[in-house]
Structure 1
Amino acid sequence: MRILFSGRPAYGHLYPLLPLAAAAREAGHQVTLATGSAFVPRLTALGFDTRTVGISVAEAEAEAVRRHPDGPVVDVMITMFGDLLPRRTLADLEPVLAAEPPDLVIYEMSDVGAAGAALRAGVPAVSITIGRSMPPEIRDKAADSFDWIWSGRSPANPMLGDACIDLWPPGLADPIAAAIPTRFPLRPVPWSPPAPPWHSPGSPLVYLTLGTVAFRATEVFRAALDGLAQLPVRVVVAVGPGDPAALGPVPDRVEVWRFVPQDQVLRHADLVVHHGGSGTTLGAASHGLPQLVLPQGADQFVNAEVLTAQGSGLSLVGDEVTPDIVAECARTLLGEPVYRATAHALREQIAAMPSPTDVLPTLEAHAAR
């Protein structure tokens, strides 16, 4: 089977596709990855057949802000994801699909232009949930903006379409994704570029990150670091594209990196303090770890709420993020067994979900219908 995967050129958008793409390639399927130019060399180095498609989120944001200089954020986001990004993806992908027709297109949920290109080429398309669905009030406001992508059809969801691969376990379920007519549960498998073996600096170990988008929130990083410094713990910090020096002096028990092999770190961690990005949320949950979430934007606030309601984490927002409150929450999460027990229950839910290899036959059957 020929499968084309399409995703935005961004870590949190593209990397969730790679475990399934790698499993499909290993199973003998012909796999092509389509993304923006910034990530094409990385995928090529991993041995994937690639196509350069679409523009970056940053480019789309700059143009959307130019169009709505004084408009609300929601108008900027709808322009980005309902107009600028999908139009460019569709235009770039249509000739690719015409020249090399795949049997199936799998796109991360925000890359909906790939769904439009697949629809016009007569190829089945399946979305994959890299994050939370749009809240109903925003979805209703955005519906007309997405209508052109679906050529007048009315899919179950303007981004997820009528078929989706759902990475959320039952304890953290996204009710909108769960209601899509054709749904394929898939275990969220952590993925990061190949790296040398990582050695833990000791325990108890806290992993602190604000991901690859919110990494500029230096005050949040500093408050979290100063709070964790009050506890007898080791801390590993990943600042992503940020500058480690921007954090200033750190205690001897703290290691600051740009990037770490996150899954290796999570295997040794006792607590994760992070921004609430879906990849880190699911990665920590896969390892049964309590989580302290400091949401900064996008769907991170919803992830924090759902994780707190599930019982394996706590969250702090805005002015709550002070060193003393971070220390209190971290002490609670490390010291009260109920949080680890609830996190272990979530880990078992994830372990019971189909693996990328397990889900391939159902995707083959779907493509063949």
Structure 2
Amino acid sequence: MRVLMMSTPVPTHFAPLVPLAWGLRAAGAEVLVTAQPDVMPMVRTAGLVGAPVGEKLDGDKHLLSFLTEGRRPLECFTRFPPEEMGFYGRVWMDQARTNIHAYLELARQWQPQLIVADQVEYASLLIGGVLGIPVIHHRWGVDPISDLALHEARTELADLAEELGLDGLPTPAQTLDPCPPSLQLPTTSPGTPIRHIPFNGYGEPPAWRTRTHPRRVVVTLGTRTLQLNGVPHVRRVLKACAQVPDTEIIATVTSQYWEELGPMPSHVRLVPPTPLHLFIDTCDAMVHHSGSSTMLTAATAGLPQLALPQWSDQFALGEQLQKSGAGLTLDDTTRQDDPTLIHNSVQQLLDQPRFRTAAEKLGQEITTMPTPAETAEHLLHKL
């Protein structure tokens, strides 16, 4: 079977699909990934075959233009109420409109029998409708967006669907959900469980895997946090975490920002972005930006987490994590800018066993979910 995988032009939107792509290939399928050029480096990193379509979006550059006076997204963007989260699908509706004909040309040439796409890739639904083949959507994790956005897309893209000879925007044949059911929002439509398998890029076990202190915390706030005026925020977080006694801090930071961050205490180790699964087993807690893949990677390892969301679905993720008992979230500027509160939050995660107990329970729940390999077999033979 030929499977066309599609992604909106954000590499982290494609990352959750990578283990399923491997499973499909192992089950005998031909897999071709198509997306705008933004995603192609990750496609190559994953050892997959990619066909770029359209122009690079460079979403971070676009976002940066909306930020003022060196402020980060949390300081500039309005936090939408739950019923308005469909707004975050609009940019991907525009991208679908821009690229649909190029995608259709590629699909007609390659003739896939199945399409798998991320949760807001709407061109995939149009192509599936035109070619008469099923389309599977794959969520990123905690999902306050896709149901509402799909409802809006049916109106927004109605004219394009009609132009393509369709009665309307088709519905996904199935939605795969890597979020543990107990963590997912109760308002999100049920999906088909698929186990999160961490994919954080390639590398080798780092030389610093061996711990130098009784406890270790990893701080991984994502490259986008730094790019979007986040250096002062990251500096503040690292120095607050450094105040936790008897604890080594591992901070994944692109090397271009090390000098700007300034000197750090000796027990704060700045390291280049390193696949988390190569060292997460040596850690006791994680501090992160509330990104889906990062959170699920920590959950898979049974680690307590502190979430510092900046925008979009990150707030809902942090709230669900805190409700589960497996972590804490600081979700506004005032609290994120308070070093004492950050320090105390990390201290709680390390000192109070209830967080570790809840985190391990979440990790055990993830192990009960079907693997991407099992899901691939189902899609190829039973769909």
- Whole-angstrom distance in 2 between the partners of 1:35 and 1:241: 28
Q: Is residue 242 of structure 2 the alignment partner of residue 229 of structure 1?
A: yes
Kept after mapping to 2: 8 A contact 1:43/1:50:
yes
Kept after mapping to 2: 8 A contact 1:97/1:118:
no
Give 1:130 deviation, angstroms: 1.4
State the partner residue of 1:194.
Answer: 202
Any idea what the Cα deviations from partners look like across 1:323-356, whole Å, max 9, x if unmatched?
1111111111100000000001100100000001
Could you list the runs of 5+ residues in structure 1 that have no partner in the other structure?
Answer: none
State the partner residue of 2:359.
Answer: 343
Q: Is residue 22 of structure 2 the alignment partner of residue 22 of structure 1?
A: yes
Q: Is residue 198 of structure 2 the alignment partner of residue 185 of structure 1?
A: no
Q: Report 1:12-51 matches (<5 A).
A: 12-44=12-44, 46-51=46-51
Give 1:99 deviation, angstroms: 1.0
Any idea what the Cα deviations from partners look like across 1:88-117, whole Å, max 9, x if unmatched?
342221011111111110001122212212
Tell me the SS of whatever aligns to 1:234.
strand
- Whole-angstrom distance in 1 between the partners of 2:365 and 2:323: 16
Give 1:209 deviation, angstroms: 1.5
Give 1:128 deviation, angstroms: 0.2
State the partner residue of 1:244.
Answer: 258
State the partner residue of 2:225.
Answer: 214
Q: Report 1:2-151 matches (<5 A).
A: 2-44=2-44, 46-58=46-58, 62=62, 77=88, 79-83=90-94, 85-131=95-141, 132-134=143-145, 144-148=155-159, 151=166
State the partner residue of 2:293.
Answer: 279
Kept after mapping to 1: 8 A contact 2:54/2:99:
yes
Kept after mapping to 1: 8 A contact 2:11/2:42:
no
Could you list the runs of 5+ residues in structure 2 that have no partner in the other structure?
Answer: 67-76
- Whole-angstrom distance in 2 between the partners of 1:188 and 1:221: 27
- Whole-angstrom distance in 1 between the partners of 2:259 and 2:108: 49
Q: Report 1:243-262 matches (<5 A).
A: 243-262=257-276
Any idea what the Cα deviations from partners look like across 1:123-152, whole Å, max 9, x if unmatched?
210000014232877766665224446544
User: For the aligned residues, what is the CA RMSD?
Assistant: 2.8
Any idea what the Cα deviations from partners look like across 1:190-227, whole Å, max 9, x if unmatched?
01222121242514111112113223422221221111
**When the two structures are aligned, how many residues end up with a matched partner?**
354
Tell me the SS of whatever aligns to 2:31.
strand
Tell me the SS of whatever aligns to 2:238.
helix
Between 1 and 2, higher relative CO (CA 8 Å, sep ≥ 6) is seen in: 2
Give the aligned residue type for 2:26. Answer: E
- Whole-angstrom distance in 2 between the partners of 1:298 and 1:233: 32
TM-score with structure 2 setting the length:
0.83
Any idea what the Cα deviations from partners look like across 1:298-329, whole Å, max 9, x if unmatched?
11000001011111111112111221111111
Give 1:177 deviation, angstroms: 4.7
TM-score with structure 1 setting the length:
0.86
- Whole-angstrom distance in 2 between the partners of 1:335 and 1:147: 54
